[in-house]
Amino acid sequence: MTTEKQTYWKQELAQARTELENFLHSLTPAELQTPVVSEDQTTWTVLDVVAHLLENERGMSIHIHKIRKGQETVPADFDLNHWNAGLKGRISNLSLPELLQNLAQVRARTLKELESLSPEEWSLQGRHPARGMITVEQYYETMAYHDRHHLNDIKQALGRRS
């Protein structure tokens, strides 16, 4: 039986991802190499940001799984900047089609986990690297927000509004 929360978050996640994918499909190969973010002498291109979204959702899905089992997600001293800095070494040089395929696979696992949640599990908590202690529901909120936030970063880097 699907609950209202499950329906709502499935729709939110689908809408955020559709917005992202539609925009990415509109980009030229040169635009996919556009610098979006520069941190600590590392420049992230559009493709790097998409890889970041992939890796991030994979991690958050693992967190939800751990929370449901009563396990720790990340230690309080987890260094998110260090984790993000190592992203290029973990998942670099994937093409847009490869990234989109991987995003779809991770999203399918995310939705499978979401669909299996009991009403009581939405309020279980775990440590998110950037937000601190949050509920399972807030993890799904973060996933949708994250897609939209970085889509806006990409649009800004490309000088586009839509």
Total domain count for the chain? Answer: 1
Asked whether residue 94 is domain-assigned, the answer is: yes
Q: What would you report as the CA-atom Rg of the chain, rounded to the nearest whole angstrom?
A: 16
Give 118-129 pLDDT, tens digit per residue.
999 999 999 998
Asked whether residue 17 is domain-assigned, the answer is: no
Asked whether residue 14 is domain-assigned, the answer is: no
Give 43-90 pLDDT, tens digit per residue.
889 999 999 999 999 999 999 999 999 999 988 887 777 777 666 667
Predicted pLDDT at 141? 97
Name residue, tokens 């509920």.
Answer: 135
Q: Are 10 and 141 in contact (CB under 8 A)?
A: no
pTM confidence score: 0.91
Among the listed residues 79, 67, 70, the one whose alpha carbon sits nearest the alpha carbon of residue 140: 67
Asked whether residue 120 is domain-assigned, the answer is: yes
Asked whether residue 92 is domain-assigned, the answer is: yes
SS3 38: strand
- Residue 124 is encoded by which pair of tokens? 């279980």
Distance spanning both ends of the chain, measured CA to CA: 37
Asked whether residue 37 is domain-assigned, the answer is: no
Give 85-116 pLDDT, tens digit per residue.
666 667 668 899 999 999 999 999 999 999 99
- Residue 69 is encoded by which pair of tokens? 């089992």
Asked whether residue 49 is domain-assigned, the answer is: yes
**108 phi/psi in degrees, rounded to 5:** -60, -40
Domain of 67, CATH number, reads 1.20.120.450
Asked whether residue 66 is domain-assigned, the answer is: yes
Q: Are 47 and 99 in contact (CB under 8 A)?
A: yes
Instruction: Report d(CA 20, CA 43) in Å as an integer.
Output: 20
Predicted pLDDT at 126? 96
Residue 58's domain spans which residues?
Answer: 44-158
